[in-house]
Chain A
């Protein structure tokens, strides 16, 4: 079955550590997105990528980094510069063109101890 796989589902981090969240899709979608979800604030866009080897900052990119070396993969690194990293992170993808539907992964819950 096609879909988006995020790992790990739960992650604990000590302050000062970088962590990388994995996102893999087998939908053959061109565009991929990372969102952060906090209670009462909805989904906020961190980074997005329309094609391989290209990505753009979203609304809250500070303290995060991404790469897009393969069409299927869009990992997100939460760096120690992110002051409040505890959140639910969602990866999504979109085929592009006229298919204007965003498909989400199951999410990764990051907790900073």
Chain B
């Protein structure tokens, strides 16, 4: 079966840093994606990792360790607009089929 696990909810203060962990066990692996989803809206793409290491994109960074089946999304200098659900998704075949975790709800407080 496919298992993609991430925490249900995290709370952090505006301006702080939050790290969202994701562990996975899947039958195939062709990369890991992070998406952001605001309430009532469609998910939007944040980052993609296929090789081990850190990918940095502005205030957001994503890390992957394939041997450990582990990734994290790091959000720096948190802003109120970062309050959203963050979805970890693993591409399980060569055509981009994604299996999603249940999402981590991040709440940013003033």
A and B pair up: no
A: residues with CB less than 8 A from B are none
